[in-house]
Structure 1
């Protein structure tokens, strides 16, 4: 859980936690395979495409070199299936996988597995760890079940992936969706309460209606034309928590520019450079929970196109914020 300073108001703390692992909308996530047979790779590509077909603003692009990818996918059949959560992948060494897919992906269960792990990469947590689900576990039986194949998990891993409840300030809302692609299937005997789930939980597989609604809300389709961010001109950010504003910069001269937000607000600020028609990360800052504003600087070159994306996490007493470059 992200450490935050003492004294934050509850609503601010909750918003910072909820969005801690979420990407700025419009980010291009590059993924690369570390081995794996071609049928497995095709299944993963298909799962990425299924998320994309919802019309979201995130993009996924396959690259050959793992060192060029934020998302590195392994197929260790002894390692179970797992993924780091959202922006946590950025803290993983470039030679290490950020996702493992440990069993066959070519059937319906495998397809759901691939969608599930990509959901983690997008920032979605496990649905059964929602604190509002009210699940009471037979913990010993849970440990015994996940210690067996195909997961072969340690007690620590089982606790982290199943038994540990998320804090109320880490979830998107109070509604539990047992049909979610992020919800595990559980056999009879692992759940004690709610009583209706004592025989087990068997989600239908694939993306639920609420999965689609959530991802389209948080990563909406991007506009075709972006407003310009003009030097030395403050631009108001009239955003609600979780909303995002996007701007473009096409410098008239090559020079170092500073870009910053202003006001009593928490924001995530990211600068991209367009290279061969693709936006590549150049700089970023997240001031969530800190008593400062997001601020990045970089040398921008004449005639090139740059895109600035700023997501508002929380607006303070005035509710006002702004962005400027100089």
Structure 2
């Protein structure tokens, strides 16, 4: 179990705006758009990745202590070796990715959904602190979302044998999460984007899973590194060695 509060999915209030932001940013985010551009099938498999050569500016919405700010920046930079995107941290509050640290939440918009958020509001929340055992995991995980990655434990092929009553009780008592939030964040598979790789229990995007909350056998430790399949996914979205950029379609 994470020591910090689990990353919670930020619900989209305007799916049409989300769709438009994704295809305006990168038309390859869907290969099934109808002539109208808003067919149900298209939105169902929508990817939310940036243009492969996009420069992402990153800013802080509050004034975190220098040590916290530098620690967050250091771990975000760990993604840079695997993508053709470029990053820069700016002193103003109007970055494309806007981080709030004065918060009790760990969460992030998925990829281009950040473009649908008012410019004076954050797109990412980081409550974890450098002294926390899972601080690095949290930062890597949240920026994975910013790159367009979803929760791996919600992969359509995961089929985790959850003991649901125990999960509801554990997450309510420890994190104050109600049944609806648990259903959304733990039990509901991702269906709006096609899977690029097989289910990956080692992904940085996977919740840790305690065997006490499953059938007593299945468990996933807290992952602390960007996995080989994580690298494969972002390399597919943001290929470094392909001059004309990559695709967000399934190979």
Determine the structure 1 residue equivalent to 2:126: 101
The answer to whether residue 215 in structure 2 is matched with residue 161 in structure 1 is: no
SS in 1 for 2:211: coil
Asked whether the 8 Å contact 1:18–1:172 carries over to 2, the reply is: no
Q: Deviations over 1:102-129 (max 9, x none)?
A: 1223555110110000000100000000
Determine the structure 1 residue equivalent to 2:53: 26
TM-score by length of 2: 0.74
Determine the structure 2 residue equivalent to 1:217: 236
TM-score by length of 1: 0.59
Determine the structure 1 residue equivalent to 2:220: 201
Aligned with 2:101 (options 75, 81, 85): 75
Q: Deviations over 1:186-212 (max 9, x none)?
A: 2232223xx631xx3214411111112
SS in 2 for 1:153: coil
**1:312 to 1:41, Cα distance in 2 relative to 1, 3 A:** closer
Give runs of aligned pairs for residues 226-265 of structure 1, distance below 5 A. Answer: 245=244
For 1:81 and 1:23, how far apart are their aligned partners in 2? 22
Structure 2 residues not aligned, in runs of 5+:
1-11, 20-30, 34-40
Determine the structure 2 residue equivalent to 1:50: 78
Give runs of aligned pairs for residues 91-170 of structure 1, distance below 5 A. Answer: 91-149=116-174, 151-167=175-191, 170=193
Report how far residue 93 of structure 1 moved.
Answer: 1.1
Asked whether the 8 Å contact 1:40–1:106 carries over to 2, the reply is: no
Determine the structure 2 residue equivalent to 1:171: 194
SS in 1 for 2:169: helix
Structure number with the higher helix fraction is: 2
SS in 2 for 1:53: helix
For 2:150 and 2:87, how far apart are their aligned partners in 1? 19
> How many corresponding residue pairs?
216
Aligned with 2:205 (options 171, 182, 190): 182
Asked whether the 8 Å contact 2:58–2:97 carries over to 1, the reply is: yes
SS in 2 for 1:179: coil
**1:208 to 1:312, Cα distance in 2 relative to 1, 3 A:** closer
The root-mean-square deviation of aligned C-alpha atoms, in Å, is 2.9
Report how far residue 18 of structure 1 moved.
Answer: 4.5
Asked whether the 8 Å contact 2:197–2:233 carries over to 1, the reply is: no
Q: Which has the higher contact order (CA 8 A, sep 6+)?
A: 2
Report how far residue 138 of structure 1 moved.
Answer: 2.2
SS in 1 for 2:217: helix
For 2:209 and 2:187, how far apart are their aligned partners in 1? 12
Which one has a bigger Cα radius of gyration?
1
Structure 1 residues not aligned, in runs of 5+:
5-10, 227-244, 247-309, 315-326
Determine the structure 2 residue equivalent to 1:276: none
**1:184 to 1:313, Cα distance in 2 relative to 1, 3 A:** closer
**Farther off after superposition, 29-38 or 140-149:** 140-149
Structure number with the higher strand fraction is: 1
